Structure 1
Amino acid sequence: MTDISKKMLGREPEYYDDFYFFRNKVYSSLDTNFSSIDPLIEVRKLLAFMQFDLSKIVFDTESRKNKYPSPICFFVQIPNDIRILYKEESPYFDLQGCFHEFGHAMHASSIDANNEYWNKYRIPMGIAEIFSIFLERLTKNPNYIRSLLPSNKGNIDDIVSEIASRNKFMELFFVTFYTANSLMKLDYWNKNLSVDEASNVYSALIKEYVGLEIPGEYWLLHHILPEAIMYVPSYLLAAVRAAELDIYMKNKLGDKWWTERESGKNLSEIMKPGANIDLSIFSKLDITTYMKEITEPV
């Protein structure tokens, strides 16, 4: 993190330079390569090609004052009314964010309308995040990135390589940051910690996993951690399963599975049962693939 901070910011990292700050800042010098790309057009084009019904998905891109800053997807009425709220942040992260939220929308709009209520709406977070992370992975896929970049952008191989390097840093940051967050939340519930005790645990865990000295109370500013729900560990489980789903699709349809029209049908069949999904079709919750991805040199 120190090396990246010096390169991106020209200084040592501070405690407030957290995951959500870096996910924008780390790509800033590469953003001009993506400034002419409309993320909404690209993701809609992709899902339409894969034969998903986009009429069920409403996308709010208006830049209003006090609009919620993070991308978010609402399952208003599954599968017929799915709404995505989004506010632009930076060109490359906008691409990631759009694909992530459309992954949620792709999932919800594919659930069988005849499913029992609980199989439509009581979807575990560790399942809901699989398909958002899975679709977002395309924005980090070298083959897909090459297909987006205009031919006049110079040495595309260099751009793709640099994007891959920074994505690897962000994946490592994601794992360490979310691991610390998850362990704190587990302790909070298992040991019935007070807020002050949780803050002390959080400070120690962030120091151990991320390497930053931060005030422990910082967790209270997080957009998920202060809530009662155990959402944060679900991202880690889903990231592993999303990598396994990617491998499954590659084995079935090839390295560029998204260029095959039947890819949508394959994904829809997996997503159709909702909460009653058969994860064994593509996942054994084997961390090997994911850990190899994020630890091997670019």
Structure 2
Amino acid sequence: MLCLSADGTLPKIDIAVFADTGWEPKKVYEHLDRLEREVAAPAGIPIVRVSSGNIRNDALDPNHRFASMPLYILNQDGKQGMTRRQCTGEYKIKPIKKKIREIIGYPYPSRVPKGVFVEQWVGISTDEFHRAKDSGVQYMHNAHPLIDIGWSRVDCVRYLERLGLADTPKSSCLGCPFHGNAQWRTIRDTSPSEWADVVEFDAAIRQGNARANATGNPLLGQAYLHRSRVPLSEAPIDHVTAAEWAALQQETGAPDAEDLEAGVVDGCSPWACRGEQPEPVRDDFGLAV
């Protein structure tokens, strides 16, 4: 949408907003810098970067209230589940709303007068029109220009290819549990430092919420980044054996082969969080009581 606005296909926007969780792959930050330098700045469109903090550091800080990731849980009784997903709201939607209120001159807790609002573009294509929804607040009116011009995901990819941006990386947290095996392999095989980072994080969250641990709450199970519920360093990210596949098929809501490989394809996005939310879910990493 930024590129379409910059080349005049869509109206010129006032600002472009990037919500930074603090734990994006380095390729995403490099790509954002390139967009700012080669697309946004020449078109006179400022890119505003907003943040609620670093999701990785916050998850491991016993003094910080943690907005949980959708971690895979293996309880002591052998039952499996996932923790509820709060990260999109906390690290994407919340800082965007805060910045918008500042821009229109009514920072929290000021009341935004009726009739004062911004039009916010959300990048949902025709493939996923059913995910288009309102912002939930009166001072932000969501619009979906890709749907308006009839563009699918394929149209978007072809357009980026014409611009020389075919290598646009997927924006998602480096250690997002919704990664598929292909994404985990890419991190492992192309960026040893980032792989070491996610493996270290996976081990650190094994016993659950750092804040709950610090208060001495008993734990009911273990948390993992990979859906196999084994340490990421040992997870079957290269292939799934027949035995593993048979075991997965016995799970409630077990993923199919494509899900295992590609993960949740669309990841998450402000106002269009696309990740599945299987049951059961529990608070505090699903572990603290």
Given the two structures, how large is their TM-score scaled by the length of structure 1? 0.29
Q: Which has the larger radius of gyration?
A: 2
Which is richer in strand?
2
Which is richer in helix?
1
Given the two structures, how large is their TM-score scaled by the length of structure 2? 0.29
Between the two structures, name the one with larger relative contact order (CA 8 Å, sep ≥ 6). 2
